[in-house]
Amino acid sequence: MLKNSCGSANEFCHTGDPSRTDSSFCCPRINQDPCDAFVRNGEGNLNLTRYYYNPVEADCFPFQYKGFKGNENNFLTLKNCQETCKPLTTACFGGESPLMNNGRVVQCHNFVCPSTHYCHRGADVRSTVCCARRGHSCDQQLMLGVGGASMERFYYDTTDDACLAFNYSGVGGNENNFLTKAECQIACPGYRGYCPHGKPDVTEHSLTTCGIDTGCPRDHVCHVSKRGSKTVCCPDPASFCLIHANPGPCNREIPRWVYDKTTGTCKKFLFGGCQGNLNNFESVEKCTEICCDKGYN
């Protein structure tokens, strides 16, 4: 496929017989991503060797093009096809390798990832791959990503207890990244935001309430939430303030604060960006409020 010289982004340059100048036309673009289109042999009497991308095999293969009525998944050379469509190995958070199968990157624009992975939906087929899950998506930090794209996405904000819009750069994000606000709201139900730190206890998809005659499970305390004035069971600071800092398995370096029980103060540490534990605060003020002011040691 020749470099697109058509004036509209909704058109692509169809190249027929390269020996004839009258066989190249600007045609309506059916698929915004050529790698996502089914291969079409076309119509006519020609037998032109072309290359198409097969997302199941994650590779480019030759086919014989008849000369007319093809589509965007039609490349003049193997190199051009691979450079355009070959899946990225750096689309996942922190540059982590995506899921592989027999040495090939597993793409997920038309495939469901296994439960250990989620589908990272990038700007195109190349960056839509299965990435490893790192805890609950709604508890993960906002990651704008890297790359040249600018796509409106939605993330769950634990502070505002709401799904908010952001512009995603295309690669390097995490699972807290939803195509629509509705998708975000379904994935992140509104039980977050009830506790000063962490999430309330939930039993069979319902908040565990408490009161004078009803206690809370182990390592939780009864808390009157500002949200709806409900009494819910929240993580007990007496348990999580006393555990050591846990940077988690990811390789980001996010400044956070941890309560040090030996000194009775809050100290900085570098959080990897996923998992970890509740002795992990975004500000020294929050750490002081939850742990220091209570005098846990």
pLDDT value, residue 2 = 45
How far is the C-alpha of 297 from the C-alpha of 282, rounded, in Å?
Answer: 21
Please state the CATH superfamily assignment of the domain spanning residues 93-187 in this structure: Pancreatic trypsin inhibitor Kunitz domain (4.10.410.10)
Residues above pLDDT 70, as percent of the chain: 93
Judge whether 176 and 133 are in contact, CB under 8 Å. no
pLDDT value, residue 192 = 65
Residues above pLDDT 90, as percent of the chain: 43
- Kindly tell me if the per-residue pLDDT of 116 is higher than 90: yes
The residues that bridge with 234 in the sheet, in sequence order, are 221
Domain ranges across the chain = 11-85, 93-187, 202-235, 239-292
* Digit-coded pLDDT (tens) for 17-48: 877 777 788 888 877 788 888 899 999 999 99
Tokens 């076309």 belong to residue: 42
Residue 10 pLDDT class (50, 70, 90 cuts):
confident
pLDDT value, residue 180 = 96
* Digit-coded pLDDT (tens) for 123-170: 888 899 999 998 888 878 899 999 889 999 999 887 667 899 999 999
Classified as helix, coil or strand, 285 is helix
Topology of 11-85 in CATH?
Answer: Factor Xa Inhibitor (4.10.410)
Is the domain spanning 239-292 CATH 4.10.410.10? The answer is yes
- Kindly tell me if the per-residue pLDDT of 209 is higher than 60: yes
What does 197-259 look like in DSSP terms, one character per residue? SS---EETTEE-B--SS----TTEEEEE-SSTT-EEEEE-HHHHTTSPP---SS---EEEEEE
Tell me the average pLDDT across 255-270: 94
Mean pLDDT score of the chain: 86
* Digit-coded pLDDT (tens) for 175-187: 999 999 999 999 9
**Tokens representing 179?**
């195509």
**Tokens representing 182?**
């509705």
